[in-house]
Amino acid sequence: MKNRDGLEVKRLFIPLFFALMAGMIGNHYGLEKHEMIIGAMAITCFVVVVVITVATFTGVDFGRKLISKSFFLLIALSFLLIGHQLYSHHVEKDPLAFFTEQDSIALEAYVERVRERDFATDYEVFSPLLIINGEEVSFRERQTLRIYGIDHGYNSGDRIQIHSPVVEAVSSARPPDSSYDLYLKSRGIHNRLQASPSQVELLSKDGFYHQGFFPENRRRALNFMDHSLQEPQNQLMKSVLLGNQGFLEEDLREAFAQTGTAHIIAVSGLHVGILVIVFTLFFRALGIGKQLYLWMILGILFLYGYLIAFPISMVRAGMMYGLYILAFYQHRPYDGLHALAVVGIISLFVNPLALFTVSFQLSFTATASILLLYSKFDKGLSFLPKLLRSLVAVTLAAQLGTLPLMAYYFGQISIISIGANLLLMPTMGMLLSLGITGVFLGLIIEPLGMAVNVFTNGLLTYQIALVRFLQKIPGAFMEIGTFHFGWVIGYYIIIVSIYLYIEKRGFDYDMERIQKTPAAG
């Protein structure tokens, strides 16, 4: 049986993850580096003084443990300062600052997302190159583009050229002028472009520039889904497979959000888990050994992530699967919570601003909640059948962990989310399996893909009809209005306190039981 000290040593990356986040948060809210150093050193000194005082009056010899803890505090302080510096480096970036001073500038861009407004249309575009005074310059950056007026006819995948746009840098203030500015920067978007319809030229339809990764096959796959599935079933299938909610009409997006099922239209750990299960069964059926198919599945996840531009939830789930493979090869037990902390550290080193995005916070909070609370809910629901119990336990754990964030960011809470997920989630494994199979066959032998998509269309019809029906139930969701961030903090303090109390009671009970056994006597 592992003692608490063993558990603490095993999970050293968890406090380092929190130290890294603390450095970024401190910088975000304007704390200078020297202020953070003084604060961290003061806390460290206080802890050391308390430990020495306890040792003096109790006679306890901390010895080597005190030295190791002090050394670890220094490492945590280093992570705090690294987090502070990483945030500064990323938030001040402005890749278009030099080019906007040139005489004549145009951007070639590929449309990735489209959002209609009352007076304009907003696009998210990827620009592989700039054209400055007639010369092409490699650029490879994302921007938002606002074209005034509506119904311009540009869709996801279209290749356009933007002539002499108005360029506005996304705010670099601390904190930025809005959470949306920070969200844009976290996605590598450092500039907003504005243009009139006459400044934008359509170069080609369905270009789908994706850094050279099979753009033609991506285009063919989307076209196949469009003509083999009904409308809006094709929109939902594209959103589920590619994790791009921009394919969905606004009313359908809202229906999924208000029923608490929007996670199925964003590539997440659910999608990764289903893909792992499907390909594991497939490779086993082919007689491929585990040591080989683990790496083959990881490669498939990487290619899939590359195709959909590596959303945060996909990166998190994929990296955790990679750590599982390493644990398997080293014959060590897999600790999901520790793996989550390692993945969090790596993710924030690559993109510190992701910490302040809704997707990062929801993804990591939901995963941590499931890892911590699933077993307790599963035990408490032992009266339910196993499959139903597991589904309810996962849903409850994720909902409990993300509830305040949903209220804070979206101003509403789905009352029926648990029931909606119980009705929707059992179909997701079949939907992803049929969707991937149908598209794959459709690219090779189209009639076979069309046949598979008859069943796919039926599942999609069920899901759409379900969320629209549930959305119309009186009281299906509750509008919160303003939900202060202090309430979010208070909620998590209460939840963590209750969890630690329950854990302590369980640990004390186990110790009493061990001490009462004959072997202990």
Q: Is 475 left (phi over 0), alpha (psi -120 to 50) or beta?
A: left
Q: Identify which of 487, 467, 48 has the alpha carbon closest to the alpha carbon of residue 261.
A: 467
The confidence score (pLDDT) of residue 350 equals: 85
Determine the pLDDT at residue 514.
45
Please give the pLDDT value at position 174: 46
Fold of the domain spanning 99-204: OB fold (Dihydrolipoamide Acetyltransferase, E2P) (2.40.50)
Q: Domain limits of the chain?
A: 4-91, 99-204, 211-260+414-478
**Residue 174 DSSP one-character state:** S
Only one residue has tokens 């491929």, namely 288
Cα–Cα dist 65/48, whole Å: 12
The answer to whether 108 and 156 have CB atoms below 8 angstroms apart is no
Cα 393 from Cα 373, distance rounded (Å)? 8
321 is written with which tokens? 């699967």
Residue keyed to tokens 């498939």: 300
Q: What is the pLDDT of residue 521?
A: 42
- Rounded CA-CA distance 21/44 in Å is 18
Beta strands in 175-232 (DSSP E): 189-195, 200-204
Identify which of 284, 280, 245 has the alpha carbon closest to the alpha carbon of residue 262. 245
159-163 and 105-116: which strand pairing? antiparallel
C-alpha–C-alpha distance, residues 237 and 222, integer Å: 10
Q: What pLDDT is recorded for position 41?
A: 65
Instruction: Give Dmax (Cα) for the chain.
Output: 88
Q: Which two tokens stand for residue 238?
A: 């594209």
Tokens found for residue 153: 């006819």
Rounded to 5 degrees, what are φ and ψ at 15?
A: -65, -30
- CA dist 324 and 233 (Å) reads 35
Whether 99 contacts 105, CB under 8 Å: yes
> What's the pLDDT tens digit per position in 450-473?
999 999 999 999 999 999 999 999
Q: Write out the chain's pLDDT in tens, 521 residues.
A: 444 444 444 578 888 899 889 888 888 777 776 666 666 666 666 666 666 666 666 655 555 565 566 677 778 888 888 888 888 777 665 555 545 555 567 888 888 777 777 778 888 888 877 777 777 777 777 888 888 877 677 877 788 888 878 777 665 544 444 566 666 766 677 778 888 888 888 887 755 554 444 556 677 788 889 889 998 899 899 888 877 776 788 888 888 888 888 877 777 777 888 888 888 988 999 999 888 999 999 988 888 887 776 777 788 888 888 888 988 888 888 888 889 999 999 989 888 888 887 778 888 898 899 899 988 888 888 888 887 888 888 888 888 888 888 888 878 888 888 888 888 888 888 898 898 889 889 888 889 999 999 999 999 999 999 999 999 998 888 888 777 888 888 999 999 888 888 877 765 544 455 445 444 44
pLDDT of residue 189: 78
The span from the CA of 501 to the CA of 350, in Å, is 36
Tell me how far apart the alpha carbons of residues 238 and 223 are, in angstroms, rounded to a whole number.
10
Bond from prior residue into 232 cis (ω within 30 degrees of 0): yes
| Alpha carbon distance 406, 212 (integer Å) | 37
Q: Helices in 330-445 by DSSP H: which ranges?
A: 336-350, 358-380, 386-410, 417-424, 428-444
What does the alpha-carbon distance between residue 5 and residue 200 come to, in Å, rounded to a whole number?
63
Tokens of 116: 């209609």
Looking at residue 5, its pLDDT comes to 43
Q: The dihedral of CA 306, 308, 313, 317: what is its sign?
A: negative
What was the pLDDT predicted at 160? Answer: 86
Give, for 425, the enclosing helix (H) or strand (E).
none
Nearest partner of 76 among 3, 30, 137, 15, judged by Cα:
15
- Hey, what long-range contacts does 491-498 have (CB within 8 A, 24 or more apart)? 491/403, 491/404, 492/404, 495/400, 495/401
Residues 6+ apart with CB under 8 A from 235: 247, 248, 249, 252
**Best CA proximity match to 111, nearest among 228, 203, 217:** 203
Phi, psi angle pair for 204, to nearest 5°: -165, 160
